[in-house]
Structure 1
Amino acid sequence: MAAALSKISCWASYILFLYFVYHPAEAAVKRYQFDIQVKNVSRLCHAKPIVTVNGRFPGPTVYVREGDRVLVNVTNHAKYNMSIHWHGLKQFRNGWADGPAYITQCPIKRGHSFTYDFTVTGQRGTLWWHAHILWLRATVYGAIVIMPKPGTPFPFPQPDREENIILGEWWNSDVEDIETQGDKLGLPPNASDAHTINGKPGPLFPCSEKHTFTLEVEQSKTYLLRIINAALNDELFFAIAGHNMTVVEIDAVYTKPFTTRAILIAPGQTTNVLVQATQKPNRYFMAARPFMDAPLSIDNRTATAILQYKGIPNTVIPLLPHLPEANDTSFALSYNAKLRSLNSPQFQANVPLNVDRHLFYTIGLGINPCPTCLNGTKLAASLNNITFVMPQVGLLQAHYFNIKGVFRLDFPDNPPTPFNYTGAPLTANLGTTLGTRVSKIAYNSTVQLVLQDTNLLSVESHPFHLHGYNFFVVGTGIGNFDPKRDPAKFNLVDPPERNTVGVPTGGWTAIRFRADNPGVWFMHCHLELHTGWGLKTAFVVENGKLPDQSILPPPKDLPPC
C-alpha cells in the first residue's frame, strides 16, 4: 500500500509540475545559458571537431510561452567570432537582439559574452535559432518552441505527443575551411557529405548505422512533428513511409489543414504536421532528400530516421517512403499552392490591401574578376545588379548613432536595366556593382516586393528570409512577372504568412508586409552559398511619431566592433 501511495504521490507531483510549466499564471522570464564550444562529434566513418552550443548537436531547444521574456546568455569559447539569430522572432523595436553579424550587432569575440534579451510578442508555434556569421550555422542551430498563452488551445486536434525534427547537412571536413577554399578558387565550395535528421544521417550512409534518430509511437495516438530545415543550401522533400501528414502550421503561423504524402521545406522554413499512428505496427523510415529542378552539383543522397511502433523489435527492416522525384517541379508548385493562412476570427490574416511602396528586385548570379582567385574570376550574386558588401560596423548601430559612411540609402526600387529575365541564358554579368546599399522605408507604410529569378548563368530557386517581420505571400508564378496581369490573380484573402519564402526556379514571388517595426532588418537568400556571394540587402524602417514607435536603446553589453 505504501509503495502504491508513493507512486500516486510521484505522479501527482509530476502532473502538478506539467500544469505549472504549461499553464503559468502569467508571462514568465525564461533564462538560458549558451556556451559556444568545440566538441569532437562522430558521424559517418570518423569523428571531427565541430562548433556546438553546450556540447550538443543539434543544440538545445528554447521552450517559451507567448508573452514570455527570454534572456539567453551566450559565452563564446570557440576560435570563431559568433552571433546567434532567433529566426522568425519579430523582435519589436529590438533589433539589438536579432543577431545577424554586422547588421544588428558586431559578433561576440572569443572569451566574451552577450545576453540576448527579448520578449515573445504575438507569436506562437515553431521557430529556430542559428549562428549568423560565416557558415557556422552548419552545426550551431536548434529549435524554438513557443506555446500559446494559457487557456488558448491549438486550432487543430490536440496531439498526444510532440517531437522536433530538424533537417540539416554534414561535412566531413571543417566547414569554414571548405568555405575558404571555395573563395580562393572562386568556385562553389564542396557539397555536404550527408544530410541529417536531428543531427544523424541514418543507415543509408556508410558507417552510420548507430547514427540514426528513432521516434517510438503508440498505436492510435496522434503526434505533432515540428519540422525545421536547418540545411545550409538545400530545399528538401520530407516523407514518412506508409503515413500521411496533415500540415497545420508554417513559420509559426497556423494554416488551413491539408493532408499530403510529402512536404517541401526550404532552408529557414518550419512546418508543423500531425501524424496519426494508425498503420500496421512496424518500423517505417522518415526520409529527406533535396529538391533540385536546376542542373546543380549538390549532395542528393537521402537522410533517414525511423518511426517505430512500440513493441516492434529493432531487427525489423524499415519500409522506405515514396518521395517525389528530385526534379518534381509540379509537386513543389502544387504543394506550395495548398498553403493558406487559417484566417479565423482568432487568428486573422491582415493582408495589406493598399500598397504605399512597390519594389521589384531581380536575383542574379554572375562572374566577377578576382585577381587573387586561382582562375582569375569568382562567382557573385546580386539583387538589382548590386552585390552587397558587409560593413565592419553593425548597420543598426550606424543608423541609431548616425555614424556616417557605413551604408548608403539608395538601393534601387527597380533593376537599372529591364530585360527578359527568364529567357535564354544571358551574359554572366550585367554591370554588377559592389556596395553596402539599403532601402529606407517609412514607418507603418505598406510594402509590396516582387522577387524575380533570372537566367544569369542559370535559373535557380531561392529561399528569401526577411528579419523582423512576417509577410504575406500574395502571388507566385513561373516566367517573368507581369505587373499588368499578375496582380489580378493575387490572393488577398488568406495567403500564407511566413518569414521565409521560396522564389521558384525561373519564376517570381510577390510578398506584402506593413513596416510597423522600426530598425534595420536584413533580407537575404537563405542558401548560405548565395548569401556569401552577396545576395542580400537590408531595410531601414524609420521611427514612428509616438514614443512606442521608436527603436529601443541598445543594451549595455552589446559587443563592440
Structure 2
Amino acid sequence: MGRRHCSFYLNCAFLFMCSIGWISLPPVNAALKQYQFDIQVKNVSRLCHAKPIVTVNGMFPGPTIYAREGDRVQINVTNYAQYNMSIHWHGLKQYRNGWVDGPAYVTQCPIQTGQSYTYDFNVTGQRGTLWWHAHIFWLRATVYGAIVIMPEQGMAYPFPQPDFEFNLVLGEWWNDDVEEVVKQGNKLGLPPRMSDAHTINGKPGPLFPCSEKHTYAVEVEQGKKYLFRIINAALNDELFFAIAGHNMTVVEVDAVYTKPFSTDAILIAPGQTTNVLVHANKISSRYFMAARPFMDAPLPIDNKTATAILQYKGVPNNVLPSLPNLPAPNDTSFALSYNAKLRSLNSPQFPANVPLKVDRHLFYTIGLGMNPCPTCQNGTRLTASLNNITFIMPQIGLLQAHYFNLTGVFTTDFPDRPPTPFNYTGAPLTANLRTVRSTRPRLSRIAFNSTVELVLQDTNLLSVESHPFHLHGYNFFVVGTGIGNFDPKKDPAKYNLVDPPERNTIGVPTGGWTAIRFRADNPGVWFMHCHLELHTSWGLKTAFVVENGPGPDQTILPPPKDLPSC
C-alpha cells in the first residue's frame, strides 16, 4: 500500500486580475508523487478586483491531490487564516473513519487559527475524479481543489485510453469578502447578493466585464483523445458546460464509470464531477469552452458565462475562438433528458449492486420558509427545512458525541416522513410557512447493513427549485426521478434497478422528486445536505447515525489523537 504525505496551509493571498494570458496545462503524470504544500502569500492575477481571499498554499484553485486506488493519504492542514477551518474530501467514503470526513461540528470541531490537524485515510474501492473543499461557513468559495484517483497499477480505464488529461474546476467569484456578503444578507433577513462571475480553473475568461481578461487554456494536438475531469465547485449554481464544435463522451460521474454516451453539452450540479472524452479531430483552430447557470425556476441568477479556450497546437493566439451553443438557462427538457441518459457501467468488473429489498423507507420533503427575526431589518428570515425541520448546528462534533455517548447533544427522532401530507407541488403555498427549529439537532438512526430508500420531494413552499443533495460517507443509486408529487403506488414500478447511476450528489428536479437507495454499511454520523450553500446555511440539512455492526471491522475507528477540540 502506498502512502502520500501532503500538508495544507491556509492563509489569505491577494489576487489581482487585469492582464491577458493563457496557460497550457501539462498532461497528468500517472506516476504518483509525494507533495509538500507550503503556505505563501502570493500575488496572483485572476480577476479585475484585488482582494484578499482564503487559499491553500497561496493557490486558487488549490492544489490537486493525486492518489491511486489502494493508497493511504495523509494531509496535514495548518490553519493560518482568521477563520476556523475544516476540509471535506468530497465523495471519499471514509469507511469507519468519519473523523476525517470534514464537515464542521458534524464529524469534527473546526481547526482553529494557528492549529493543525492531519487527515489520514485510505482510498479503498474508488477511482476517478472527486474534489476537496472547505466545509464551514461559505469558505468553499475559494478553498477547493481536485482529487484525482488513478486505477490500481495495471488496471486500464474501461474506455479508450486518453493521450492526456485535464482538470476543469468550475467556480463562482465574489468581488467582496464572501463572508461579509453573507453577514450583510443575514442582517437584512434576505439571501446574500449573487456572485459577480463564474470561473474555470479560477479564471472568468474574456467575456467577463473587465478592461483586461484572464483566460484558462489547454493546447491539444490534432487526432489525439483527451480526458477532461470536470468539477462543479460553484456555491449555488447548477451549470451547463460545452466545447464549441466538439462533442463529449461521458464516461464517469462522481468517480463511478458510466455507459458511454455522446453529448454536445453536460449539466453538472454543485458537488458533482463528470469525466468526458474529447477527440481533437476538428479543424485546427481555437474553440471556447463555456459554462453558465441552469435555473428553471422564477428566481434570479448570475447569468454570466465563464469561458476557457481549447487551442489546437500551432494555431496563433490572435485567432478568434468560436462560442459553443449552450442550452438556454431554463432548458428543463435538456436537463431531464441529459440526466436520463446516465447509467452505471454495470459490467462484471464494475457491477451495480443495487439494493433490491428495502428495509427502511424514508420520505423527506424539501421546503423553504419564513420565520420571525426581530434582529433582521425585514423582521423575518428565510429558512429551509426537511420534513418541516430546520437543522440547527451543535456546538460539538456530532460524531464525537455519538462515539463517547455524550447526552443532550442531539436526538434521534427525525421523522421518516413529513408530519402533515399535502399537495407538495401544487399551487404556490403561502400559508403556514414557518419551519420548526428545535434546541438540538434531530438525526435519524439507521441499523447497520440495512438497506435504505430515500425519496426527496421538492415542494412549492415559497417556490419550487432544483436541489442538489450530497450524502457523506456513501455512494447511492438513483433509482427513479419524476416531476410532480411522488406516487408510492405507481412510481416504484418505473424504477431502474438494473443499471441506475451511482453517485454521491444528485439533483432533485424543480417541482419533482428523486429516489435513491443505499446499503448502510459504513458506521458513523454522516451528513446529508443540499449542496447549494445558500440553502445549507438556511438549515436544509440533516444527518444519519449509522449504528456499529457486530464485527470488530464493522465499528467506528477510535478518534485520532490530534482531533481538533471545540
TM range (shorter): over 0.9
Match of 1:165 in 2: 168
Which of 24, 36, 39 is the equivalent residue of 2:13? 39
SS at match of 1:183: helix
Asked if structure 2 preserves the Cα contact closer than 8 Å seen for 1:428 and 1:457, the reply is no
**How many residues matched?**
535
Q: Which of 326, 335, 339 is 2:329 aligned to?
A: 326
Identify the residue that residue 553 of structure 2 maps to in structure 1. 548
Cα drift, residue 428 of structure 1 = 5.5
**Equivalent pair of 1:240/1:287 in contact (CA under 8 Å):** yes
Aligned equivalents of 1:300, 1:444: Cα separation in 2: 44
> For residues 144 and 322 of structure 1, what CA distance do their matches in structure 2 show?
29
Aligned twin of 2:481: 476
Confirm or deny: 8 A CA contact 1:366 1:428 kept in the other structure: no
Q: Hey, what's the Cα distance between the residues in 2 that align with 1:393 and 1:509?
A: 32
3-state secondary structure, aligned to 1:177: helix
Is 1:456 matched with 2:430? no
2:451 is matched with 446
Question: Which whole-Å CA distance do the structure 1 matches of 2:472 and 2:372 have between them?
Answer: 31
Q: Which runs of 4+ in 1 moved over 3 A?
A: 428-431
Counterpart residue identity of residue 268, structure 1: G
2-structure distance, mates of 1:294, 1:231:
18
Q: Compared with structure 1, are the counterparts of its residues 41 and 428 closer, same or farther at alpha carbon in structure 2 (3 Å cutoff)?
A: farther
How far 1:46 moved relative to its partner? 2.2
Match of 1:374 in 2: 377
Query: In the alignment, what sits opposite 2:311?
Result: 308
Q: CA deviation at 1:297?
A: 1.6
Q: Deviations over 1:10-40 (max 9, x none)?
A: xxxxxxxxxxxxxxxxx21001110001000
Partners of 1:46 and 1:381 lie apart in 2 by 33
Q: 1:507 aligns with which of 504, 512, 516?
A: 512
> 2:525 matched to which residue of 1?
520
Query: Is residue 370–residue 433 contact of structure 2 (8 Å, CA) maintained in 1?
Result: no
Q: Which residue of 1 aligns with 2:502?
A: 497
Structure 1 residue aligned with 2:266, among 260, 263, 276? Answer: 263
Contact 1:72/1:116 (8 A) holds in 2: yes
Equivalent positions of 1:382-461 (< 5 A) are 382-427=385-430, 429-435=432-438, 436-461=441-466
2:317 is aligned with 1:343: no
Amino acid at match of 1:358: H
Displacement of 1:151: 1.0
Asked whether the 8 Å contact 1:216–1:307 carries over to 2, the reply is yes
Question: What does the per-residue CA deviation read over 1:507-540, in whole Å, with 9 as the maximum and x for residues that have no partner?
Answer: 0000000000000000000000000000000000
SS of the residue 1:137 aligns to: helix
TM-score by length of 2: 0.94
User: Deviation of residue 343 (structure 1)?
Assistant: 0.1
- State whether residues 508 and 514 of structure 2, in contact with CA within 8 Å, keep that contact through their aligned partners in structure 1: yes
2:50 alignment partner, SS class: strand
Distance 2:339 2:57 in 1: 36
Matches within 5 A, 1:527-546: 527-546=532-551
**Other-structure match for 2:232:** 229
Among residues 87, 92, 109, which one is paired with 2:90 in the alignment?
87
Alpha carbon RMSD of aligned pairs, Å?
0.7
Match of 1:485 in 2: 490
Question: Conserved in 2, the CA contact under 8 Å of 1:191 and 1:298?
Answer: yes
Which runs of no fewer than 5 residues in structure 2 stay unpaired?
A: 17-45
1:65 to 68, 72, 96: 68
Q: TM-score, normalised by structure 1?
A: 0.95
Per-residue deviation, 1:44: 3.4
Aligned mates of 1:421, 1:66 — CA distance in 2: 43
* 2:527 partner SS: strand
Identical pairs, percent = 81
Residue identity opposite 1:73 in structure 2: N
Structure 2 residue identity aligned to 1:28: G
Shift of 1:476: 0.1
Q: CA deviation at 1:209?
A: 4.3
Report the 3-state secondary structure (helix = DSSP H, G, I; strand = E; otherwise coil) of the residue aligned with 1:482.
coil
**Gap runs ≥5 in structure 1:** 1-26
Structure-2 residue corresponding to 1:14: none
Whole-angstrom distance in 2 between the partners of 1:192 and 1:46: 13
Question: 1:384-417 CA distances to partner (integer Å, 9 max, x unpaired)?
Answer: 0000000000000000001111111000000000
Give the secondary-structure state (helix, strand or coil) at the position aligned to 1:335.
helix
- Which of 85, 103, 107 is residue 106 of structure 2 equivalent to? 103
Partner of 2:297: 294
Instruction: Compute the displacement of 1:431 (Å).
Output: 4.6
Secondary structure at the counterpart of residue 465 of structure 1:
strand
1:465 lines up with 2:439 in the alignment: no
- Could you tell me how far 1:237 is from its partner in structure 2? 0.1
Per the alignment, in what secondary structure is the counterpart of residue 129 of structure 2?
A: strand
Match of 1:30, as an amino acid? R
What residue in structure 1 maps to residue 116 of structure 2? 113
Displacement of 1:458: 0.2
One-letter code aligned to 1:338: K
SS state at 1:173 partner: coil
Q: What does 1:5-44 align with in structure 2 at a 5 Å threshold? A: 27-42=1-16, 43-44=46-47
